[in-house]
Chains A and B, each alone.
Chain A
Amino acid sequence: MESGGNTVLVKHTTVSEAAALREDLRSYLVVIEHGEVVARHPVGLEPLTVGRDPARDIIISDEKVSRLHLQVAVLAGEVVVEDLGSSNGTFLDGVRLMTPTVLPPERWVQLGSRLLKHERRSQRETEREAELQRDLEKARAYVQSLLPPPVRTGDVRTDWFHRPSAALGGDAFSYWPLDRDHLVAYLVDVSGHGVEAAMHSVSVLNVMRQKALPGVDFRDPGQVLDGLNANFQMEDHGGLFFTLWYGVYSRSARRLRYATAGHHPGILFAGGAAPEHLRTRGPMIGAVPGQKYTAAETLVPPGSLLYLFSDGAFEVTSPEGRQLGLEDFLPLLGGSGAGTPGEAERVYVAVRKQARPGPLTDDFSVLAVSFD
């Protein structure tokens, strides 16, 4: 009897839980840009307006979207989309909406290059995701805290801009004085992006911060790359490798020694007609056991400006869908006032203008170093 009673009780609880979960489900409008969810808005009885104008509830910066494009609301338990006379239209399954139309769950409408998808999810799912987002935000703050503050005074000054493509990214960089004469600067780009890449870049940053490479003279870029390569073989690190630009500047000699591992050149504007491309040949760190890296050097005249950057800065797609490369990025560097604070962000804004609208697909880092 007792066990039978329990069974009934269990069944009863399960049914009521399921009912509670059903009641808990609510509708969200998800904004999808180039296949990625960029925002999620709860939809209720109060209509949400969507358009390019900053006064809208959901703002979409796309030239093909009208200032006031459409509105969405729950009517009689259904999500209903109404195009408010937009110039370029709202489409459901390729058909332009002429009247208010029900948008069923898991379906979407298209306006410009964006999709608005109707998603049903429970409060609990939404809260769980918000919690995950908060954790990611904390992790992002931790990674940011490992990046050095810009140096605004002295004979060597720095300015940087860092924007991961996801909440976390695999780009990292740092600079510090080795001794009274020597300054180090480097930039790391871990394969892939997201949490996995960020964790790897943090472990590289910490090894470098603590100079935890036994027997390595940090004034010698070749030794540093050899040491990192011995410590970060991809088989021992979840199949991850990273590219690296590493340089050491001697104030007394005005000489920059550098070495690169699978990385594109650093760009030095040294007063000559054309900027100097600072790169040595060598594969990514972790890809070839026992690899030996060699360094090169150059002189740094007063007034020089050095740029280090990740490939996410130039591997972008133009609005016409063309793949852009280093040759499209280089003209954005240098110019008058280039050594002033805000230079790295200026470069970011210029890249965004070259790229199609929406978030960049890879992590973006630019570090500018100016020398008196």
Chain B
Amino acid sequence: MKMDISEQDGVLRIGLVGRLDTPGVDAIETRLTAACVPGAARAIVDLSGVEFIGSLGLRMFITIARALSRRSGKMVLYAPQGFVAQVFETASLGDIIPVRPDAAAALAAVKA
């Protein structure tokens, strides 16, 4: 599991590549939470390179998104592909965390 984090205009841009299965989540959860939650970040997360997400991956995003919403931060996910998009649809994840098709739409949503 690979994770890149950079900041631009006060927005964290997070790129994930790999499988968000149990080992994948274990590899990034602490760093991702530390990057987003304490500073009440506004963050957009690029999922175009994620080929699998399991329930622990969903749990990680939901936990961070809920912690951020209590601190007036915000997380927006974008560009889920194939399998991941299907899992998001089944879980109605869009009702919990904003999910957008691309980076421009995610940026607009995170600044809204």
Contacts and interface: CB of A to CB of B under 8 A. Distances in A.
Given A234-B62, A239-B63, A323-B51, A192 B91 contact: no
A49 B3 CA distance: 43
B22 interface: yes
Range of interface residues on B (Cβ < 8 Å): 20 to 34
B93 A189 contact: no
B72 interface: no
Contacts of B90: 262-264, 279
B92 A241 contact: no
Given A283-B92, A288-B95, A192 B59 contact: yes
Nearest to A265: B90
Nearest to A282: B92
Interface in A34-74: 35
A52 to B, nearest CB: 28
Contacts of A264: 90
Contacts of B51: 323
Contact of B62 (A243, A263, A287, A291): A287
Contacts of A263: 90
A283 B91 contact: yes
Interface in A310-328: 311, 315, 323, 325-326
Nearest to B51: A323
B83 A325 contact: yes
B78 interface: no
Range of interface residues on A (Cβ < 8 Å): 20 to 34
A241 B62 contact: yes
Nearest to A324: B83
A326 B86 contact: yes
B10 interface: no
B83 A192 contact: no
A250 interface: no
Nearest to A239: B63
Contact of B55 (A191, A235, A282, A325): A191
A291 B21 CA distance: 27
A288 B96 contact: yes
Contacts of A291: 95
A192 B96 CA distance: 19
A211 interface: no
Contacts of A311: 55
Interface string B43-76: 0000000011011101100110010000000000
Contacts of A189: 55
Interface string A229-246: 000001100011101000
A283 B86 contact: no
B91 A325 contact: no
Nearest to B56: A192
Contacts of B54: 315, 362
Interface string B75-105: 0000000010010001111011000000000
Given A35-B23, A192-B22, A241-B62, A284 B91 contact: yes
Given A264-B90, A284-B58, 15 more contacts: A189-B55, A191-B56, A192-B22, A192-B59, A234-B63, A239-B63, A240-B59, A241-B59, A262-B92, A263-B90, A311-B55, A315-B54, A325-B83, A326-B86, A362-B54
5 A-B pairs with the lowest CB-CB distances in the bound complex, closest first:
A191-B55, A262-B91, A283-B92, A191-B59, A264-B90
10 contacts: A192-B55, A192-B56, A234-B59, A234-B62, A240-B59, A281-B92, A284-B91, A287-B96, A291-B95, A311-B55
